[in-house]
Amino acid sequence: MNEFILGLITFLTSVLTGAVGMGGGLLLIAILPSFLPLNALIPVHGLTQISSNVSRAYFGHKDIQYSVVPKFLIGSLVGVGIFALLLHLITIKYIPLFIGTYILLSLWSQTFNDKIKKYESYYVIGFFQSGLSVVVGTTGPLVITKLIKEFEDNDKVVATSAVLMSITHSLKALVYLNFGFIFADYLGMIFFMIACSILGSYVGTKLRNKIDGKKLFFALRIVLSIMAFKSILTIFS
């Protein structure tokens, strides 16, 4: 039953990201603590997000701006290497706290977002986006901010972001594999979520220019905030 519910949630969050360009990964990472043990939270999320982003990039491959990819990749490799070392210092119990706090700050703190926007270089964005994802799961808004400034076409933003997020989640999955996480223990669930994420990417791509993204994102902020508070409160329960 959990597999079916998670598949449906993955489908809907993938539709959201395919249509709006962001938000689905954050929503999924906020919901997953209700279904998975803490040690599986970030690696399972990462693997399903690889499929979501790769499929979204495939459906929009004509709009991908490949010139930004090498810079982002170099920054990502350095960032993941450094932040992976920090995992030894983090107690797994506090991962929901990091995730919830990051979500709330990115949604509601203009100061936090202003500081993020200062990292204009793709090298630096890759460093922080992929590095931080090892700890908080997903950091899509970092690169979206830069892409929106550089490319006015929303299709280019969504497709290129999908490629860069694929890099982030792939590196993150390799980190957890290196740390000994056994993906095979969740294989059935992961395959089902992957299939749903690909279908969601397809539907979201078709809906991209047919919905009011601003209204949808406002509703998403409210839902995400509730989920973030719930995630933080699990630390104290």
Q: Give 10-residue mean pLDDT values along the chain (237 residues).
A: 85 84 78 85 87 87 92 94 81 73 79 72 87 76 72 82 91 88 87 90 82 66 75 73
Distance CA 92, CA 186 (A): 19
What is the pLDDT, as a whole number, of residue 1?
Answer: 67
What is the pLDDT, as a whole number, of residue 39?
Answer: 83
Q: Quick check: 49 and 25 in contact, CB under 8 A?
A: yes
What is the pLDDT, as a whole number, of residue 171?
Answer: 93
What is the pLDDT, as a whole number, of residue 80?
Answer: 92
Q: Please tell me the pTM assigned to this model.
A: 0.76
What is the pLDDT, as a whole number, of residue 24?
Answer: 80
CA 113 from centre of chain: 17
What is the pLDDT, as a whole number, of residue 67?
Answer: 92
What is the pLDDT, as a whole number, of residue 145?
Answer: 67
What is the pLDDT, as a whole number, of residue 217?
Answer: 63
Q: How wide is the angle at C-alpha 23 spanned by C-alphas 195 and 58, nearest 5°?
A: 45
H or E segment to which residue 191 belongs: helix 187-207
